[in-house]
Amino acid sequence: MRRKSGALIPLEVSILEASAEVRRSGQAEVHGYELAKVVRDLRHARRLTAYGTLYKALNRLERQGYLASRWEEPQIAADEGRPRRRFYRLTLEGEIALNEARAEARRTSAGRAAAATVE
Amino acid sequence: MNAERSAAVVRRWVAAYTRGLPAEVRRDRADEIESDLWSEIADAAAGSGEGAVGKDILVRLLLGMPADIRWRFDQPPGAPGPVPTVGDPTMYARNISMISVIGGAAWAIWIAPAILFGDNAWVGTIGMITMFTLLIGSLGLSLATLGFVFGNIDRLHGIASLLGAIGGGFGLLLAGGVYWGMVLLPVGSAAVMWNLARLRVVSSKLAWAHAGSSVATSLLALPLLTNLIPPASAGVAVFVLLALALEGYALSWIAVGWSLRAGTWMQEEPATT
């Protein structure tokens, strides 16, 4: 089954949801590890998303224009004695894509419920 | 393994799969993973035990390895050269589907003389046919398994990807006489096909047929390989059942490859601008 260009896979939807969740909590940007934690909580998973899967998905979402990223100033990281962080934020396109994915999920579950009722 | 040792393994893996990439891309990936590791270890120091986080880091590493490899192949080369073009996903999918058919057909052929002629199947002209089809079949099915893994890396479950990658790898060694491939290749490909059926890429009937023949092959080959049932004392029935399972496995590959021959199963990368 062909994946439509720009269509989102479940992990990507979870990442966008996590980004939106973080923004709702008043934080404009979020780094990879923090996103992984929010995704884990949203998906009720036991483990954090694997490194390769998480950063590849972030890379794709950024190329699609759904997320934007920036590296923090090295001096800030150095002052805090930790590696520099890459921060991601949800773009307007990402918000639209997330809303479309949610609407699609609602349509699918409504269709399933209707089919179950008929049966 | 403690957290620092696990982190060191992750760093070595990142250094390995980013080798040859432009310095900036390498540094960015290494820094991003380093930041993640630092945050997870810092979190662990404040909460969960260090052993637990060390294990968690390794699991995150292992489950993400196929995606790392796919990411690596998506990167343009570091050295100056021709501008990379975006691959045609349909062509990739068609090739993998056809490799499945060819590999399945070759696999189906080598089993027949091996059963009909016993030890004589490996000598003379018949031996050449048996060896050649075993080689092509093993390589084909291994490459097809790896192709399905890397073509669907973002949507396959991490464990299915990992089993597929291990099975595909051992399947390649099967051509060189490492017979563990006979057990691990079916396990890996079954995990991938099962996951692809859940994603509605492969029909559930085909996935059942593939998984059933895979499990039968692995269960019958395992006691022979581990000498639990010494091959010399195994009854004819064991070999007949193994041959049937292997043929079923080969035919299921042909059916899967043929059903996907249009090449539309591949997930598309977003268009680059």
pLDDT for res B89? 63
More confident call, B37 vs B262: B37
Residues of chain B contacting A49 with CB distance shorter than 8 Å? 60, 64
| pLDDT digits 0-9 by tens, B156-194 | 888 888 898 888 888 888 777 777 888 889 999 999 999
Could you tell me which of B105, B184, B110, B108 has the C-alpha nearest to residue B145? B184
Least confident of A63-77, B75-89, B222-236: B75-89
Rounded CA-CA distance B56/B62 in Å is 10
Rounded CA-CA distance B126/B122 in Å is 7
Residues of chain A contacting B36 with CB distance shorter than 8 Å? 31-33, 36, 51
More confident call, A71 vs B229: A71
- B199 phi/psi in degrees, rounded to 5: -90, 0
Joined tokens for residue B145:
């398994």
3-class DSSP state of A98: helix
Q: pLDDT band at residue B91, thresholds of 50, 70 and 90?
A: confident
Q: What are the pLDDT tens digits along chain A (119 aa)? A: 344 556 788 889 999 999 999 999 999 899 999 999 999 998 888 888 899 999 999 999 999 999 999 999 989 999 999 999 999 999 999 999 999 999 988 887 777 777 766 66
pLDDT of B85 > 50? The answer is no
Rounded CA-CA distance A90/A30 in Å is 9
3-class DSSP state of B44: helix
| Mean pLDDT estimate for chain A | 87
| pLDDT digits 0-9 by tens, A44-78 | 888 888 999 999 999 999 999 999 999 999 899 99
Q: Rounded to an integer, what is the distance from CA B254 to the centroid of its chain? A: 17
B28, B39, B200 member nearest A33 (Cβ): B39
Rounded CA-CA distance B76/A40 in Å is 31
Please indicate if any CB of chain A lies within 8 Å of the CB of B264: yes
- Closest residue in A to B155 (Cα) is A9
Contacts with B37 (C-beta within 8 Å, 6 or more apart), sequence order: B7, B10, B11, B57
Rounded CA-CA distance B66/B89 in Å is 18
Tell me the shortest Cα–Cα distance from A52 to chain B, in angstroms. Answer: 4
Joined tokens for residue A32:
């990879």
Decide if A52 and B35 are in contact by the 8 Å CB cutoff: no
Q: How far apart are the first and last CA of chain B?
A: 44
CA atoms within 13 A on the CB side of B235: 3
Pairing of strands A30-31, A86-90: antiparallel
pLDDT for res B45? 82
pLDDT for res B79? 46
- Hey, how many other C-beta atoms are within 10 angstroms of the C-beta on B8? 14
Q: Rounded to an integer, what is the distance from CA B123 to the centroid of its chain? A: 31
Decide if A2 and B70 are in contact by the 8 Å CB cutoff: no
pLDDT of B90 > 80? The answer is no
Give me the residues of B, 148-187, that contact A with CB < 8 A. 153-155, 158
Residues of chain B contacting A57 with CB distance shorter than 8 Å? 154
| pLDDT digits 0-9 by tens, B140-157 | 999 999 988 888 777 788
pLDDT for res B177? 74
Decide if A49 and B272 are in contact by the 8 Å CB cutoff: no
Q: pLDDT band at residue B20, thresholds of 50, 70 and 90?
A: confident
pLDDT of B270 > 90? The answer is no
B18 with B73: CB under 8 angstroms? no
Greatest mean pLDDT among A88-97, B48-57, B194-203, B243-252 lies in: A88-97
Could you tell me which of B87, B131, B33, B117 has the C-alpha nearest to residue B266? B87
